[in-house]
Amino acid sequence: MIFHISFMHMLLHKDGLIELNYEVATDTLTVSWPDMTTFTLSEIRFALTTIIDTLKHYDIKKLLIDTRANVVEITDEAYAELMLQFSRDLTTTRLQKVARLHAVNPAHEKRVARVTKSVNEAVNLSIDFNSFTDEFSALSWLRH
C-alpha cells in the first residue's frame, strides 16, 4: 500500500510583484521574490512590508525566498537600504529559519554577498539563514 502525504498550501497573497504561499503542515511561507526592474522603490517596499505583515499575522517560523528569476536593476545603495530595512523588520517577527534559492547570475550573487555581509554587521539577526541552488534541499533544511 502506498501512502501519499499531501501538504496543505494556501495562497495568502498575490499581486503583480510577489506571491506568498503558506504550507500549513511545515509552517513555511514561500515567497517569489520581487523582480526589481519594472517596479518603483515604494512598490518594492510595500511588497517587503506585506511579507513582514504576513509573517507576523500567521506567526510563521520558516521562510523560503525564491530569487532564482530575480533581476535587480537598482543602485547598490538602494538595494542595501531595502535589505537592511527588511532584515530589521524580520527581527520583529518570530521567524526562526530562512532559506534562499539563489539566482544563477554570478554578478548578482556577488552583490547579494556584499549586501548580506554589511546587513549582518548592522543587524544582529538571530535567524538561521542558508542559501541553496535547488528547492528540494532548501525545503529539507527548513523542515529539519
Model pLDDT for residues 21-78, shown as the tens digit of each residue = 999 999 999 998 766 677 788 988 999 999 999 999 999 999 999 988 766 677 888 8
Mean pLDDT, the chain, rounded, equals 86
Inside any domain, residue 52: yes
Confidence of residue 3 (pLDDT cuts 50, 70, 90): very low
The count of domains in the chain is 1
Inside any domain, residue 113: yes
Inside any domain, residue 37: yes
Choice between 103 and 91, residue whose per-residue pLDDT is larger: 91
Contact criterion met (CB below 8 Å) for 128 and 97: yes
pTM of this structure? 0.87
Q: What CATH number does residue 106 fall under?
A: 3.30.750.24
Inside any domain, residue 29: yes
Confidence of residue 6 (pLDDT cuts 50, 70, 90): very low
**Does the pLDDT of residue 122 top 60, yes or no?**
yes
Alpha-carbon distance 125 to 82, whole Å? 16
Inside any domain, residue 4: no
Helices (H) and strands (E) in the chain, counts: 4, 6
**Does the pLDDT of residue 124 top 60, yes or no?**
yes
Inside any domain, residue 2: no
Q: Look up the domain containing 116 and give its range.
A: 9-143
Contact criterion met (CB below 8 Å) for 110 and 74: no
Q: Cell numbers of 144, please? A: 529539519
